[in-house]
A and B are shown apart, each in its own frame.
Chain A
Amino acid sequence: MTRELERDDELVLSELLNHVLDKGVVITGDVTISVADIDLVRVGLSLVLSSVETMERQRAPQRVAPGGNEDAPPVLPDRSPE
């Protein structure tokens, strides 16, 4: 299922879940997140790791190419608030 997502989509999704479900101000002591939601966070964390590892494998052959900047880190496209 997750493999069907585009690589960047996976990363954006996992970052999104980690930010929205695990961070942010808590006004009430009673955040109504169920066990299923905690699983969502876990999905997010494993997604990002699998994504990075996938990227490493995909990038490995490119690194032998001389003169290029293939070793530049993957930078997610800006998600402009506008």
Chain B
Amino acid sequence: MKLQPFIRIAGHAAALAEDNIDTDIIFPARFLLLTTREGLGAHAFHDRRYLADGSEIADFVLNREPFREAQVLVAGANFGSGSSREQAVWALLDFGIRAVIAPGFGEIFHANCMRNGVLPLTFDAEVCAGLSAAAEAGKAFAINLEAQHVTVEGMAPLGFTLPPERREAMLNGWDETDQIVGSFGEQIAAFETVQRRSQSWLYPEDTKQ
């Protein structure tokens, strides 16, 4: 699956102003039996979106217009906490979400977002509450990663900063494995040479018959 570059996005944002939305809520475990990365959007927030008979729960934000097409999610504190399942990010991405704004994230979820071109942005709880209200009111959101700011109709622009290399990678859709192989091959080999000497017990392959 090719990584999509993230440059700028614009459109409606969906507000899910609830703290501790864990990855079990974003992608229930029973769907982890699927072994693909594609098409998982159908199961995103499954138990919040659908009743047991498969019909939609009308008042859930992602079942309402215009939020079905939202590219931005404005969430509560500790969003994506819990399980490491990357399916949570793949499901959001497949649903069309390219950025999540929250007062804080589960650390593994945050890392998984960065690996998939989904931009996780952290702002204070008060700022998020304002963004959440604007989202619910249907205001237009725009996120520009080149300029590193979020603009919301009727609000002053909000700046954010990503580590420069991370920003560069996301703007270009670079794959991290490619980057490591391309830039650090010699350093990895040198590290292993030293560690092999000083901690030889970590290299069972050297003594195995």
The answer on A and B forming one complex is no
A residues with CB within 8 A of B: none
B residues with CB within 8 A of A: none
